[in-house]
Structure 1
Amino acid sequence: MTQSRSLAARVAALKSMDKTALQNYWVEVFGVKAPHLHIRILRQRLIWRIQELELGGLSDKAKMQLEQLKHHAGKHGKIKNSRIVRPPAGTRIQREYDGECHEVLVLKEGFEYRGQVYRSLSKIARLITGSHWSGPLFFNLRGQ
């Protein structure tokens, strides 16, 4: 792929490439053999890389913050962006959806909703909405 084309044109060209073409382009851009990744991930990482080469990479401040996070993760295990908090047994969780108030009682081993016990809040959220939802997110149980 030639560097004289615009960034937008190079990104657009990646969308029409098959996996073999993406792997070959990977060698051009990164200088190493492409890892075994799904075609969507290969494409995303190549798009990120050509943007980085054209527009510049992370700032020194951002690199320092990433190093601090990496160091922290090494000491404390996995980094979590947002913690899901499970309320203690006996807590009542309410959520208004589609003009109706829905109440769930937290039990030691599950959740009670309209007289039935469910193992997960996601199952209850699906019953309420008719589509897949993360139960903790639907009931807004993210830690602060």
Structure 2
Amino acid sequence: MTKTNGIPARLAALKTTPTQKLKNQWRDLFDSEPPPYNRRYLESRLAYRIQELAYGGLKPETIKRLERLGEELDGGDRAKSRKRADHSDKPITGTRLLRE
């Protein structure tokens, strides 16, 4: 039996695993405390990490390419990329503006 045989079953089990057990898995797989995000986030990140450990992560060439693309977008300025993601100058869709 190879170490990757049980991966599909582990991934499927994430959907029905209690949240506290997901947080325990997070501690085991990431060696850190789980973030205070919702359950769906924990499931998706755990699924990625399980597969990453079993099958390997991104190739170094892919990581370099992603970093290069990110720098092309924001010139390496993390604050600039966050501002673009925030769209803090515009209200979110569905916002109702009322005149007083």
Interval containing the TM-score (normalised by the shorter chain): 0.5 to 0.7
**1:69 Cα deviation from its structure 2 partner:** 2.8
Percent identity reads: 35
Higher relative contact order (CA 8 A, sep 6+): 2
In the other structure, the counterpart of 2:27 is 27
In the other structure, the counterpart of 2:55 is 55
Runs of 5+ consecutive residues of structure 2 not aligned to the other structure = 85-100
Alignment of 1:61-140 (within 5 A): 61-72=61-72, 73=74, 74-75=76-77, 77-78=80-81
More helix by share: 2
Cα distance between partner residues in 1 of 2:77 and 2:52: 30
Name the count of aligned residue pairs.
79
Runs of 5+ consecutive residues of structure 1 not aligned to the other structure = 81-144
Give the 4+ runs in structure 1 shifted more than 2 A.
69-80
Give the greater-gyration-radius structure (CA): 1
After TM superposition, the score normalised by the length of structure 2 is 0.67
Cα distance between partner residues in 2 of 1:46 and 1:25: 8
Query: Would the aligned equivalents of 2:4 and 2:55 in 1 still touch at CA under 8 Å?
Result: no
Q: CA RMSD in A?
A: 2.5
After TM superposition, the score normalised by the length of structure 1 is 0.48
More strand by share: 1
